[in-house]
Amino acid sequence: MSVSGDSVIINIEGLAYSIEETMFHDSLVPPKSCIFKIPNILYRQNEKAFIPDAFSFGPLHHDDNPNLKAVEKIKLQYLQCLISRLHTSETGKKRVIDLVKSIEEVEKAARQYYAESIKYTLEEFVKILLIDGCFIIELFRKYAYEELREKEDPIFTMSCMLQFLAHDLILLENQVPWIVLERLFNMTKQETHTESLLQLAIQFFGTTFSATPPTKILPLKDIKHIVDLLRKWLVSSTKVEESNSEYWEVMPSATGLVEAGIKFVKGTSESILDKIQ
Report yes or no on 144 lying in a domain. yes
Burial class (CB in 10 A: 0-12, 13-18, 19+), 133: buried
Specify the DSSP class assigned to residue 143: H
Report yes or no on 25 lying in a domain. no
Report yes or no on 184 lying in a domain. yes
Q: Is 138 helix (H, G, I), strand (E, B) or coil?
A: helix
Backbone phi and psi for residue 62, each to the nearest 5 degrees, phi listed first = -65, 125
What is the average per-residue pLDDT within 205-213?
Answer: 67
Q: Provide the pLDDT for residue 40.
A: 84
pLDDT interval class at 277 (50, 70, 90): very low
Report yes or no on 12 lying in a domain. no
pTM, full prediction: 0.77
Report yes or no on 63 lying in a domain. yes
Report yes or no on 85 lying in a domain. yes
* DSSP-assigned letters across all residues of 168-235: HHT-GGG---HHHHHHHHHHH--TT----HHHHHHHHTTTTS-SS--SS-----S--SHHHHHHHHHH
Query: Above 70 in pLDDT, residue 174?
Result: yes
Provide the domain count of the chain.
Answer: 1
Report yes or no on 10 lying in a domain. no
Burial class (CB in 10 A: 0-12, 13-18, 19+), 261: exposed
Among 15-29, 153-167, 240-254, which is the least confidently predicted range? 240-254
Report yes or no on 14 lying in a domain. no
Task: Name beta bridge partners: 8.
Answer: 3
Query: Above 50 in pLDDT, residue 90?
Result: yes
Helix (H) or strand (E) holding 9: strand 7-9
Q: Where in the sequence is the domain holding 207, given as residue range(s)?
A: 32-241
Q: Provide the pLDDT for residue 28.
A: 58
What is the average per-residue pLDDT within 135-141?
Answer: 97
Q: Provide the pLDDT for residue 43.
A: 80
Terminal-residue alpha carbon distance, the chain: 50
